Structure 1
Amino acid sequence: MAKKKTAYTCQKCGATTYKWHGQCPDCNEWNCLIETVEEAPTSQHSRFVGYAGTQSQVCSLNAVATEEQARTSCGLSELDRVLGGGLVSGSVVLIGGDPGIGKSTLLLQTVSELGLATNSAPLYITGEESPQQVSLRAQRLDLDVSRVKLLTETQIERIIQVAQKEKPRVMVVDSIQTVYTNILQSAPGGVAQVRESAAQLVRFAKQTQTMIFLVGHVTKDGALAGPRVLEHMVDTVLYFEGDSSSRFRVLRAIKNRFGAVNELGVFAMTDRGLREINNPSAIFLSRHEEAVSGSIVMVTREGTRPMLVEVQALVDESHTPNPRRVTVGLDQNRLAMLLAVLSRHGGVITHDQDVFVNIVGGVRINETAADLAVILSILSSLKNAVLAQDLVVFGEVGLAGEIRPVPNGIERLREAAKHGFKRAIVPKANLPKEAIEGIEITAVTRLIDAIHAV
């Protein structure tokens, strides 16, 4: 094989040099050169060889034969939901999350279930923990890991060599930041090391149809550590979220080539590991013994699943020149916009009030359907007026004070009716053509109409 050469590429202008410099000699930017690998082809033919070693041919797109992707169940229905129905052969899944959130626990439970269900021997590769630590975790979780094979290794060439010998259907690498290649001289966890190691694992997965899980570290800002290209190379990116003070964990799909994005899986951390929550609406609603102001229930939608979530607001007189606007689980800039709409089109002034908004249960709302619920909860707290406990609302609020429709309104209403809610305030465009049994629906077109309705 041809010798692989090390080069340094500028991340600003793309210039390449074979010696590291603190400053790029072309664009004069500082600290922008990263180590890359140049591999000369062995022959002229190898330049035009396809990804799996076959020569590529041009064909008509509508002539390409398509077939249903066979799915392998992970043994955890919530994980299957987030993945789009299960694992696909040759797929690479990247899981990121805060330290101690439960990434290793989830994957150890997954390989245990897969080993029993598929009658195969998954390969668990750990670069951060010793075999004794992994074994102790399996015993603590009371898992049957008799079919799981364990390897403690951080060199990518050795990992692929062992995988070629063992031929596992499922492989876990915990974590990608600890893996390195001998081709590069930089330390493990660097941009070049992570990118090259991940590229070799992706290539191995596609050529052998092995299903691979990669564990990724996150930065203090919550983003996956390493180069952004890491998320582009893999097929699926999952984020494991949760509050350290809460036992509930949320698994969210950010990218999925084999299913829908923004799907949500909910787990509870117990002494026996992660337990699936099949009815997440029950945990995101706090049933008060008596009605309180500033609380209202909305129906959000994560992927294909409608969920009931409680929105809480606290409005108090501000004693500072700049009143506070604090949100937990909601975009803070959107709160400022909604307060301006409430002032202009609702006649409610909050410029001298501190406003705090919280989404109960640690879930984060990314859709605009929460606008109406946020405004009504703020109004309830400001006026100290208790809203009906059997009331549910959803709808987007525009800058002109109009109530705009949201997707899948009928599914949201059915979910609310299933949980015993008797009244609903929704946008007029979301009013169903046929009545839904057990729930009275009020349709509104303007913000002032919604305020009068409550």
Structure 2
Amino acid sequence: MSKPKRAAQRWVCQACGAVSSGWFGKCPSCEAWNSIEQELPPPNPGERPAGSSVVVASTDAQTQVDSQPRRPCGLAEVDRVLGGGLVPGSVVLLGGPPGIGKSTLLLQASVGLARRTGIVLYASGEESIAQVGSRCARLAASHKNLLLMAEQRIEEVLAQATDRIRGAAGQPPLGAVIVDSVQTVYSTAQDGLPGNITQIRAVTSQLVAFAKHHGVPVVVVGHVTKDGQLAGPRLLEHLVDAVLSFEGDEERATRLLRATKNRFGSTQELGVFEMRGDGLREIANPSEAFLTHREAPAIGSCVTATLEGSRPLLLEVQALLAASFGNPRRTCVGVDPIRLAMLMAVLDRHAGLFVLDQDVFVNVVGGMRLSEPASDLAVLLAIASSHRRQPLAPGTIAFGEIGLTGELRPVPRSETRVQEAARLGLKRVILPAAPKQAARALKDSLDSLHLGASVELRFARSVAEAIELGFA
């Protein structure tokens, strides 16, 4: 009788997840030192039992989707980023730097789910039940359907969740499972310490299998490294259905929630919160929070309208020019430095303002980032205002894409941007010239909202015209 074949040894890099047949001091893929560890092959599960899979026609799949609607968590900003709430059977990964408020956000979302959908099992591998309970009391996030457990074994967490899927007599069914965090939970079927690549893969695979089999949404927390990347292999992000990023600045109380991956919704939506002593407060109108209210216009400042998914945001762009001693510096916060260099070249060539020999500092107020080209015109006008040492006219807002030839190009959803500006009291809008039909449609939409008389639209075809209108 021949001996059974011995499984080949696998050596896995803990930094990038690359697999090799032997040990290396330096990973051939990511060149990280001393990051390769041996991974034991999983036991042979044997043959799959016949008839264990279910095949459904695509025409009948919609019926299953309609019978399992999304589960809102009660936080409108979180539901906005998710696309309306948690999808049954989905796995969501929430990442963010230490101390940003991930656990606070999840507890506030958990109590909202517990009030609406049923039992929420919150498993913490980092804190004791007393610690989590004290935070619940501080956040006023206690509910009889919110169950807490301090456990690091994933098998025990899933066993407790399975026991509550159907619910006991008089008990609601299981609505969601939250694991905080995936780097502190381990599987007894695998060797190694919690947080290594083998354990992360095993734990995440079990959570995904549980969510898909029982139709229960699962939310896991992921640690973030010093360079801002989610710790663990990239496989972790591929296994889950949605990846949320919770960002913020230690010097500000504002917190931003974004989706970098979402199989069931858009990745362009943005959730805005304010951190307070009693937890996170939703900011329903971020434009008012980001704009600086002044009695008189400031030199080097211009307001622009940008889009974050379906939401228009008004942000203030500030620019400062100073004499350069040596090589001119370009310092940007919230603006792409390459695009800034292009705008300065256009300003020099097509507007007659020579600014290439000066130090230029550009900042977006509130710690936000301007990524769409529609903010080009506001950045350029802020630089021109600082160069001329003259403020823009009061109540001015500008948006539009700038080409290398100095022309202004229309941007999408101008109507939404103008309406948001008028709602916040900005009455003078500088925007790219559009065809007559588009300009007439924009004015008609403002008239239908009774804003046509209060908003002055100034169309410009070139950079030179926009600067002339801005300071006229």
TM-score by length of 1: 0.90
1:109: Cα distance to partner? 0.8
Q: Evaluate the alpha carbon distance shift between residue 185 and residue 13 of structure 1 in structure 2; reply closer, same or farther with a 3 A threshold.
A: closer
Which one of the candidate residues 348, 353, 359 is aligned to 2:358? 353
How far off is 1:142 after superposition? 2.3
Native 8 Å contact 2:70 2:84 kept in 1: yes
Equivalent residue letter for 1:218 = V
TM alignment of 1:42-191, pairs within 5 A: 42-45=45-48, 53-54=52-53, 65=62, 67-68=65-66, 70-118=69-117, 120-167=118-165, 168-191=174-197
Letter in 2 for 1:156: I
What is residue 263 of structure 2 aligned with on the other side? 257
In the alignment, the residues of structure 1 paired with residue 60 and residue 332 of structure 2 have an alpha-carbon distance, to the nearest angstrom, of: 51
Other structure's SS at 2:198 match: helix
Q: Distance in 1 between matches of 2:202 and 2:348?
A: 54
Match of 1:413 in 2: 418
Distance 1:300 1:187, change over 3 A: same
Runs (5+) with no aligned partner, structure 1: none
Q: Which residue of 2 aligns with 1:277?
A: 283
Aligned to 1:227: 233
After superposition, what is the alpha-carbon deviation per residue over 1:329-359, rounded to whole angstroms, capped at 9, x for unaligned?
2222222222222222222222221111111
The 8 Å contact of residues 114 and 175 in structure 2, kept in 1 or not, is answered as no
- The one-letter amino acid paired with 1:141 is L
CA–CA separation in structure 1 for the residues paired with 2:19 and 2:122: 39
Give the C-alpha shift of residue 247 in structure 1.
1.1
Shift of 1:365: 1.8
| Separation (CA, whole Å) in 2 of partners of 1:41 and 1:307 | 54
- Pick one of 441, 464, 471 that aligns with 1:448: 464
Deviates more, 1:372-381 or 1:346-355: 346-355
Distance 1:127 1:10 in 2: 25
Measured on the aligned residues, the alpha-carbon RMSD in Å equals 2.9
CA distance in 2 between partners of 1:402 and 1:65 (Å): 48
Deviation at 1:80, TM superposition (A): 0.8
Is contact 1:250-1:363 (8 Å) kept? no
Amino acid at match of 1:200: Q
Partner AA of 1:439 in structure 2: V
Query: SS of the counterpart of 1:112?
Result: helix
Are 1:310 and 2:338 matched, yes or no? no
Does the CA contact (< 8 Å) of 2:17 and 2:233 recur in 1?
Answer: no
For normalisation by structure 2, the TM-score amounts to 0.86
Superposed CA deviations along residues 399-420 of structure 1, whole A, max 9, x for unmatched, are 2222122221111111111212
1:195 offset after TM fit, Å? 2.2
How far apart are 1:262 and its partner, in Å?
1.8
- Give me the whole-angstrom Cα distance separating, in 2, the residues matched to 1:157 and 1:150: 16
Q: Distance in 1 between matches of 2:372 and 2:381?
A: 17
User: How many pairs align?
Assistant: 444
Cα distance in 2 for residues equivalent to 1:36 and 1:206: 26
Distance 1:37 1:84, change over 3 A: farther
1:16 Cα deviation from its structure 2 partner: 4.9
Asked whether the 8 Å contact 1:329–1:364 carries over to 2, the reply is: yes
- Residue range with higher mean Cα deviation, 185-194 or 2-11: 2-11
2: CA distance, partners of 1:117 / 1:45: 38
Question: 2 CA distance for matches of 1:93 and 1:15?
Answer: 26
Bigger mean CA offset, 96-105 vs 191-200: 191-200
How many angstroms does 1:7 deviate by? 3.8
Alignment-derived partner of residue 343 in structure 1: 348
Structure 1 residues 329-408: aligned runs within 5 Å = 329-408=334-413
